[in-house]
Chain A
Amino acid sequence: MKTEAFVAMLEDVLGVPKGSLKMEDGPNTVERWDSLGGVTILAVIDQELHFEPSDELVSKSSTVGHIIEVLKSQGLLQD
């Protein structure tokens, strides 16, 4: 999956306008990125990328950039 498409999916999950999510955004900057929002992100990764979120991903899922970094290292996202 293209990184751009993944970010668009995150924007949909978090209920923010298209193109508004930045790499440094996380639970502290996005209102809907609360516990349930965080779990839903993991659920989407599980469902759409067929990748069961690893401990590394869960522990690093503090910003959009961190999530993308881990998924790229797994070969699941491309530029």
Chain B
Amino acid sequence: MSEISRSELGLLYLRKMAQKHVRPMSAKDIPAVVEIHVAAFPGYFMTSLGPKFLALFYAEAQRSSSCVAQVFERDGMVRGFCLGELNSGSFYRRLFVRNWFLLTVISLMAVVKQPWILVRIARSLLERSARSGPEDYSVLGSTAVFPEEEARGYGLALVTAYLDHLRKLGVREVRCEVSIKNQGLIRAYRTMGFQVLGERRVFPGTTLVELSCHLRNEEAGA
């Protein structure tokens, strides 16, 4: 079996998995999504803000028309989720404007418990304010599964469904960031059509690889 046919076979199967198990996130999925986030992203900035913040964040994202939020369900249980913005930056601005008081309280409480978070908050705000407005590409922000269920393709099925959904909406480019340590995932993304744009060092010393995927409308036969 050649390398190409092997990859193609895997991608075809991912689409089958996506069609069978991926569906839009609903409000009742939020507790499970928060649980998966905490398990999958220990020590990450958003996780350090606590489950209440995560519940608020994902509830806003699930309701937002500028986000695509999906879950992977198997045996009646949510096993993973993915979340992306249709236009980079638009959702976060709206999230902050609508919930500025609650977000400030949650952030202050987190800072009291873990002062180093202040650096992360300042850095995040600076990075976002440096952008003048929503960018013309979608950002796949989070894809997560329970750690004990990794390497089963659930995450890649979610990404496949996400890309298919964006194609239908006419979105032309998707970007995402992956830890440089996760070479297996970077390889999988490249097989799915992503290209490496560059690398970015983030606090506390993690390097992220920025990837981009240009989408073609398959129905148009482009």
Contact = CB atoms under 8 A, between A and B. Distances in A.
A13 B187 contact: no
A58 B150 CA distance: 11
B1 A13 contact: yes
Contacts of B13: 39-40, 42-43, 46
Interface string A6-28: 00010011010000000000010
B99 interface: no
B203 to A, nearest CB: 27
A37 B191 CA distance: 11
A9 B3 CA distance: 13
Interface of B is mostly: helix
A73 B10 CA distance: 25
Contact of B150 (A35, A37, A59): A35
Interface of B: 1, 3, 6-7, 9-10, 12-14, 17, 74-75, 150-153, 155-157, 184-185, 187-188, 191
15 contacts: A27-B150, A27-B151, A34-B188, A35-B150, A35-B151, A35-B152, A36-B10, A36-B156, A38-B151, A40-B13, A43-B12, A43-B13, A46-B13, A58-B152, A61-B152
Interface of A: 9, 12-13, 15, 27, 31, 33-40, 42-44, 46-47, 55, 58-59, 61
